[in-house]
Chain A
Amino acid sequence: MDLMRIEGLCKTYGKGENEVKALDNVSFTVPKGQMLAVIGPSGSGKSTMLHILGGVDRPTAGKVFLDEQDVFAQDNKNLAIFRRRQVGLIYQFYNLIPVLDAEENITLPLIMDGRKPDSKHLDALLDLLQLKERRHHLPSQLSGGQQQRVSIGRALFTSPGVILADEPTGNLDSKNSAEIMKLLQQSNKEYDQTMIIITHDENIALQCDRIITLSDGKIVSDKLNTRK
């Protein structure tokens, strides 16, 4: 069963002569539990697509369905709640809140939802992320790899159906990159989470179940990874 359905997604920036089509009629589906890599050259529309899938940006045209629910039929408040509960976003530059420590950053979506974090679940996640010793450290006191792990923890903590990662290893060295990928794969398997990962790194793409290639805002290739 398809968890996500994307239909005729278009995103245009500017007007008239300055009009740029970041996404041009993109359609595809993503089954539950699939680990999907989106690759393509710079400016091909990868990040734009990821942000639209995550409900962070609205498309110029087209629709996104998650569990058969039209994501953009919701008003801004419900879209924010959708981001909080149904998707987990991971950024290349982590985008952590500098005044909150690692634990507070991880639990932030749940706290914003007015819920109390489950301490056992939190401990297990911190264990998985190898952040138990660093749970009360501020982002400025953490290394790049640790910050990205906090960012992943924030995306995973509410156990959303979809994890969207925008170049999650783009800012890390190879050792840290490998650790992060291992973590994402572990989460994908353990929690049966659907993952869409944007990357430039062919090695990372090859660790995914399916690879979509974008160019000039269009899908130029959509293949299952048989080498995995």
Chain B
Amino acid sequence: MFEFLLARRYIKTQKRHSALTICSIIVAVTLMSMLFTGFATLLGCKRDAHYDQKPYHMCFIGVTYEQAETIEKLPEVKSYNVKKNEVGDGTYDVEVMFKKNSMKDSGAYLQEAAREKLGVSLQDAPYWVSAHVDENTELMNDDLVDDGARFKFVQLLCIFYVFIVIIALTLRLIIDTAFEVSSKERERQFGLLQSVGATPKQIVRIMTAEGLMLSAVGVPIGIIIGIGCAYIAFKRIVGNGLADAFFTSDKAGDIVRFHISPLMLVIAAVTGLAWVLFSAYGTGMRVIKKSPVEAISARSNTVKKVRKHTVMGLLFGWVGKLTSRNARRQKKRFIITILSLTLSLAMFAGIGSVMNAVTDAVTGPLAEMGRDFDMSLDYSCFDLTGYKKSVEYLEKSGYFSKYYYGITKNAQALDSEKRYYVEYLSKDEFEASTYGKAPVTYEELRDSGSYLFITGADEPDESLRELELKVFESIASDEVKKDFEERYAAAMAAKQEAEKNTADNAGSDYEDDDDDGWDPYRDGYIELVKATKETCKQTNHTFKIAASCKTIKPDNKNPFMVTEYDYYEKNQYKLLIATIDQYEAGEYKLYGNYTSPFSSFNVDIKSPEVYEKAVKYVKQNDSIDLWWDMFGELQKIRTTAGAYRIAANFVTGLIALIAIVNMVNIVSTGIINRRSELASMQCVGMTQGQLYKMAVIEGLQYTLVATVGAVALCLLGIFLTETLLIATEAMPPESRGKLLSYTDPVWRVLAASGFAFIVSVLAAVIPLRNMQKTSLIDQIRSVD
């Protein structure tokens, strides 16, 4: 075919242009394969992080030997790991990994397996599952175990592909530019070919054949370089400690690994090849729009309209005027470059700021409160010192380092209705809740058997040393106590029955909802308080005051955070704090033989390594409920935030790279295409200094417009986000400007703009310097 012959000749004779086109293809395919490899790595790291947290899809806790054997033989199970339960009660823990696509719905599967395979009764199955099975839902989603996971994966892919299409359209511009420059130089030759009988179709075929041949070189190189660049970028990310900061710190090196997906690379290659062929075809179509006569006699760069006054002209005089008029000669490319540059600057700044805000929002309140704990536990007890059993149970494990708990009682002034809270705190809770600012130590209070008096009043009464109050004795009569316990037991049984029926009917896990029935947790407590109040006695007690102070607040307190002390202060409550040792030593008797049946306390785990064991240990005790796994949640948030941050940085970097490549392309080809003009200007007296000044202003024009656009975009984005949050009542109106910083993204945009400016100047200066190597006459003749 003569088209291929001609295309090959053009490639060989126009080595400079062929090299430029191949380079453009390489750049585009490199970026594409970087993007796909990055996506594969992100998915892989996400999966590894979830696996690192819990190395199983499901863990069956405390099962019998027979049950463990049955679990191992389930057809859906791919691998398993059996361990003896640490409690030492002869039961086993079985960690299971399931096969891909092995079930429709993991929740329903568990219920069915419990009933049909593990011998759990129909009624008990939901409770058995919630008590004995720990599901790693995230890992099951990553490994596409059930239909729900596959649906989520398809959703993610769709979002990614929408994004890919946007990126790919921008990438096409790079290839387009290369073909455009190459075809511009050959317009005359195409005109000549048409004049001797070549059909427009044949001209288009020549361009397409050229694209195909150049792709054969550019695409494979682009894929290889793309993998290499992605690996280097990945190493940089890991090397900079980003992974350590966001994945579990001690294992980040193992979790964050580089992943290559052959499927993703094939998609990248096919997309790259498609864009090359589209670009070549499009350029061919543009070429044949001109008649042979026009093509043969065409003179480049005809300008039909210019804007008389421009901002750049006002700022930088005639050089600025020339610069802005030149930019408008390639309006479409100028706009796309500015848009991609603006977008990348805004994304760079926006993502950085939002990620900081998210991290602050997650970790900030805790830090500002000065309070930190890993788990919050609920326990049930029906006597005044019942909590001690739970504390002892936890202490025995050796997994916990600190115990934050306290007992709160009520008292009332003898001569008024003024209420007092009396708190008996554990040592850790005392130190944590007084932020190290208490005027007395825990030991001083304990040894003297006295109280710390805290008041919301501006000036604490220093003379106060003794305070006689009437204590609300939460003493219920034996009848009341018995009646309550019977009602409670009956209600619990009824509730369990109702929940079993609901679970059976729904065929899935029971989920607690706000029904209107009698809730032993909620309503039972109210009834008991009511009953005790009706029968309670009041005892006068003298509180010995060791010291008094104004409400204690942490330093750098988050203004949106309302602490219990804020509540006390607002309501002018007075607080008496004593040690739990005093309470245990006998003061509990002051409050009668019966107290509120439920309480909670917080604990810290000794180290991240014991986290999993600690969770299992807590779950094994029926009277302790883990209701807020702060450590696990924070770990999950950090993992997710880390993954998204890496992905966001990668995407931003990629868009920035595209913007930079486009800018370099447009600036340098603009200079090369105008070499005759620039030489003409030098011939009539333009100095090299003026020429370089023009190059600098040209670069400045791009970065200036993009910077203004990016700053506006960021500020608008923050404003709209805040407006949305306020409208949905997710944020109070007075918080506007405090949740997301309006200044932070501006500084980020300016910093990134500086880099873009340097690149744009280099993109102009380098071809100018190369042009200076040839004489002005040669530069003028290069087009003529």
A: residues with CB less than 8 A from B are: 47-48, 51, 54, 56-57, 76-77, 80-81, 83-85, 89, 91, 93, 95-101, 108-109, 111-113, 138-141, 154-155
**Contact between A57 and B322, CB atoms less than 8 A apart:** no
**Contact between A77 and B685, CB atoms less than 8 A apart:** no
Tally A-B pairs: CB < 8 A: 88
**Contact between A109 and B684, CB atoms less than 8 A apart:** yes
**Contact between B304 and A77, CB atoms less than 8 A apart:** no
Q: For B677, what are the chain A residues with a Cβ–Cβ distance below 8 Å?
A: 95, 97-98
Q: For B684, what are the chain A residues with a Cβ–Cβ distance below 8 Å?
A: 83-84, 89, 108-109, 112, 154-155
Interface check B776, CB cutoff 8 A: yes
Interface residues of chain B: helix, strand, loop or mixed (majority): helix
Q: Mark B315-333, 1 if CB is under 8 A from A, else 0.
A: 0001000100110010000
**Would you give the shortest CB distance from B306 to chain A, in whole angstroms?**
5
| With contact pairs A56-B776, A97-B677, A99-B326 given, residues A84 and B685 touching in the complex (Cβ less than 8 Å) | yes
**Would you give the shortest CB distance from A157 to chain B, in whole angstroms?**
10
Interface check B563, CB cutoff 8 A: no
Q: Select the residue from A56, A80, A91, A99 with max chain B CB neighbours within 10 A.
A: A99
In the complex, identify which listed stretch (B47-55, B158-166, B687-695, B728-736) lies at the interface while the others stay far away. Answer: B687-695
- 23 A-B pairs with C-beta separation under 8 A: A47-B777, A48-B777, A51-B776, A56-B682, A56-B683, A56-B777, A57-B776, A80-B688, A84-B685, A95-B780, A96-B680, A97-B681, A98-B301, A98-B677, A99-B303, A99-B322, A100-B322, A112-B681, A112-B685, A112-B687, A138-B306, A139-B303, A140-B302
Q: Select the residue from A56, A57, A96, A98 with max chain B CB neighbours within 10 A.
A: A98
Interface check B775, CB cutoff 8 A: yes
| With contact pairs A81-B685, A111-B318, A138-B303 given, residues A99 and B329 touching in the complex (Cβ less than 8 Å) | yes
Q: Which of A47, A54, A101, A108 contacts B306 (CB 8 A)?
A: A101
**Would you give the shortest CB distance from B683 to chain A, in whole angstroms?**
5
**Contact between B680 and A81, CB atoms less than 8 A apart:** no
For chain B residues 643-691, which have a beta carbon within 8 Å of chain A? 676-677, 680-690
Interface residues of chain A: helix, strand, loop or mixed (majority): helix
A139 to B302 alpha-carbon distance, docked (Å): 8
**Contact between B784 and A93, CB atoms less than 8 A apart:** yes
A109 to B780 alpha-carbon distance, docked (Å): 18
**Contact between A109 and B685, CB atoms less than 8 A apart:** yes
Q: For B683, what are the chain A residues with a Cβ–Cβ distance below 8 Å?
A: 54, 56, 83, 89, 95
Q: For B784, what are the chain A residues with a Cβ–Cβ distance below 8 Å?
A: 93
A97 to B684 alpha-carbon distance, docked (Å): 11
Q: Which residue of A lies closest to B305 (CB)?
A: A138
Q: For B303, what are the chain A residues with a Cβ–Cβ distance below 8 Å?
A: 98-99, 138-140
Q: Which residue of B lies closest to A108 (CB)?
A: B684
A96 to B784 alpha-carbon distance, docked (Å): 13
Q: Which residue of A lies closest to B685 (CB)?
A: A84
Q: For A99, what are the chain B residues with a Cβ–Cβ distance below 8 Å?
A: 303, 306, 322, 325-326, 329
**Would you give the shortest CB distance from B302 to chain A, in whole angstroms?**
4
A65 to B611 alpha-carbon distance, docked (Å): 90
**Would you give the shortest CB distance from A12 to chain B, in whole angstroms?**
13
A24 to B666 alpha-carbon distance, docked (Å): 43
**Contact between B687 and A77, CB atoms less than 8 A apart:** yes
**Contact between B681 and A57, CB atoms less than 8 A apart:** no
Q: Select the residue from B329, B689, B777, B784 with max chain A CB neighbours within 10 A.
A: B777
**Contact between A81 and B687, CB atoms less than 8 A apart:** yes
Q: Which of A57, A76, A80, A138 contacts B777 (CB 8 A)?
A: A57
Q: Which residue of B lies closest to A52 (CB)?
A: B777
**Contact between B688 and A141, CB atoms less than 8 A apart:** no
Q: Which of A47, A95, A112 contacts B686 (CB 8 A)?
A: A112
Besides A112-B687, A140-B303, 15 more A-B contacts (Cβ < 8 Å) are A56-B682, A56-B775, A56-B776, A76-B688, A77-B689, A80-B687, A81-B685, A84-B685, A95-B780, A97-B677, A100-B306, A108-B318, A108-B684, A138-B303, A138-B306
Q: For A81, what are the chain B residues with a Cβ–Cβ distance below 8 Å?
A: 685, 687
Q: Which of A95, A111, A140 contacts B676 (CB 8 A)?
A: A95
A76 to B325 alpha-carbon distance, docked (Å): 27
Q: For B775, what are the chain A residues with a Cβ–Cβ distance below 8 Å?
A: 56-57
A25 to B283 alpha-carbon distance, docked (Å): 50
For chain B residues 293-319, which have a beta carbon within 8 Å of chain A? 301-306, 318
Q: Which of B304, B690, B776 contacts A112 (CB 8 A)?
A: B690
A57 to B780 alpha-carbon distance, docked (Å): 12
A16 to B318 alpha-carbon distance, docked (Å): 45
Q: Which residue of B lies closest to A86 (CB)?
A: B685
**Would you give the shortest CB distance from A164 to chain B, in whole angstroms?**
10
A147 to B225 alpha-carbon distance, docked (Å): 50
A14 to B302 alpha-carbon distance, docked (Å): 34
**Contact between A113 and B685, CB atoms less than 8 A apart:** yes
A100 to B684 alpha-carbon distance, docked (Å): 14
Q: For A100, what are the chain B residues with a Cβ–Cβ distance below 8 Å?
A: 306, 322, 325
A3 to B114 alpha-carbon distance, docked (Å): 110
Q: For B318, what are the chain A residues with a Cβ–Cβ distance below 8 Å?
A: 108, 111-112
**Contact between B682 and A80, CB atoms less than 8 A apart:** yes
Q: Which residue of B lies closest to A51 (CB)?
A: B777
Q: Which residue of A lies closest to B303 (CB)?
A: A98
Closest 10 CB pairs of A and B: A84-B685, A99-B325, A95-B680, A80-B687, A98-B303, A140-B302, A83-B685, A109-B685, A111-B318, A109-B684
Q: Select the residue from A56, A76, A113, A154 with max chain B CB neighbours within 10 A.
A: A56
Q: For A47, what are the chain B residues with a Cβ–Cβ distance below 8 Å?
A: 777
Q: For A89, what are the chain B residues with a Cβ–Cβ distance below 8 Å?
A: 683-684
A221 to B301 alpha-carbon distance, docked (Å): 41
A112 to B694 alpha-carbon distance, docked (Å): 12
**Would you give the shortest CB distance from A45 to chain B, in whole angstroms?**
12
Q: For A77, what are the chain B residues with a Cβ–Cβ distance below 8 Å?
A: 687-689
For chain B residues 161-218, which have a beta carbon within 8 Å of chain A? none
A101 to B690 alpha-carbon distance, docked (Å): 20
A169 to B312 alpha-carbon distance, docked (Å): 37
Q: For B682, what are the chain A residues with a Cβ–Cβ distance below 8 Å?
A: 56, 80, 83
Q: For A108, what are the chain B residues with a Cβ–Cβ distance below 8 Å?
A: 318, 681, 684
